[in-house]
Amino acid sequence: MSERGTLKRPDWFTPKLEARRTRRRYRAERRFKLYGLAAIGIGLAFLALLFYKIGSTAYPAFTENVLELEVTYDKDVVSPDGSTDLETLRNGDYATVVQNALKRYIQLPEDDADGQRLLGALLSSDADARVRAELMRDPSLLGKTHKVWVLASGDVDSHLKGLFDAAVPEADRRVKDRQLAWLQKFRADGRLETRFAWTLFFGTSSAEPQTAGLGVALLGSLYMMILIFLLCVPLGVATAVYLEEFAPKNRWTDLIEVNINNLAAVPSIVFGILGLAVFLNFFDLPRSSALVGGLVLTLLALPTVIIATRAAFKAVPPSIRQAALGIGASKMQMIGHHVLPLAVPGIMTGTIIALAHAIGETAPLLMIGMVAQVFNIPATPLDPATALPVQIYMWSGEQERGFVPRTSAAIVVLLAFLITMNAIAIYLRKKFERRW
């Protein structure tokens, strides 16, 4: 060392060597930055590929092909006694009404059984239900002719969307040449249109892809989300307040905290087994109902809400507590008037993220029987229902090719729902966040 106490550089440490080491360090930093950018680029590329694949597969499901029929509500077929009572009209023979409308438009000999079969195969199985719905809305149509738009059959719909190759031999095609000629006649007369597939969002379970919809799953998911929110917020916030502000620091509270953290990492199917044993077998609640699904998912989401709420409380500066207590506020007043309002953004963010996590779960709902086919829209949380991820699971196992775009469309709806919820969480955090 020199007289002034500074370190003296060794003789071998020259400026040239120092510059070389500096350049090497800078190159290493640039390589590390490139590695990070490459990793991000690869991740974004796979994400874009995933969205493109799902979106391109799902696109056909967002449109549907409909045919217009001039339906005559013949009294002898619909209501032989001439009654306009709704129960009588509901039980009419609408399949014959639809067949007669087709026969009047496409003239076929009565002995052409194969032609009659192919003609009926142009329409979906719910064509008679749609014709009936028109008469139920306006009973004065009885005995009159009315234009009704009905869905094309699954094979016809898939062919019109290009899902089947029309160049293959007729014997290997599910849509025959005679049917193609009839479809051209429908199109030329303006009786064949492609519309937005509202059936996808309002339809119920069906064995045919073109009539299957997410109506039951969407409403079931909504019921469960509301129930999770109503249970998770008060229970989670109350638990976090007690553990963070009132609970003594001893082995029991340490055990509770460890268990809460462990519950957040427990496989979701374990909660399904718990719901099966407690809510169904012990309390005998309705099987496959949104009520049981909401209770099971509440157990799944509650640890996340507690952990997020405690983190929000810890983010409030201690000076806020000290100032409130210093001016004479009680501990409850300090928490309710100062700490809790300042922690609300973190609580809301954690709650929304927990909801998004819970609503995307499938395994617990399978354990409690929400995998059943439900054909009626649930009027209350006690009615049988299903959920979006479970509906995706069920459609993915169907053999009909038309369910492939249906499954991808349901995935798009679920992803849009989850992305929206996460975007709301980010917005709330940015809007109400305070910096100290």
**pLDDT tens-digit series, residues 371-424:** 888 888 899 999 999 999 999 999 998 888 888 899 999 999 999 988 888 888
Average pLDDT in the 124-139 region?
89
| Domain residue ranges in the chain | 63-196, 215-432
Specify the DSSP class assigned to residue 384.
B
Ranges 21-30, 293-302, 340-349, most confident: 293-302
Q: Is the dihedral of CA 432, 433, 435, 436 positive or negative?
A: positive
Residue 173: Cβ within 10 Å count: 17
DSSP for 280-309, written as a single string: IIIS-PPTTBHHHHHHHHHHHHHHHHHHHH
DSSP codes of every residue in 171-184: GG-SS-HHHHHHHH
The structure's pTM equals 0.84
Confidence of residue 1 (pLDDT cuts 50, 70, 90): very low
Provide CB contacts within 8 A for 224, sequence distance 6+: 290, 293, 294, 297, 358, 359, 381, 387
Task: Tell me the pLDDT tens digit for each residue of 174-228.
Answer: 888 899 999 999 999 999 999 999 999 998 888 888 889 999 999 999 999 999 9
Domain 215-432, CATH number (from 1.10.1280.10, 3.40.50.300, 1.10.3720.10, 2.30.40.10): 1.10.3720.10
Percent composition of the chain: helix, strand, coil (DSSP 3-state, to 5): 65, 5, 30
What is the average per-residue pLDDT within 1-18?
Answer: 62
SS (H, E, C) 112-157: CHHHHHHHHCCECCCHHHHHHHHHHHCHHHCCCEEEEEEEECHHHH
User: Is residue 83's pLDDT more than 80?
Assistant: no
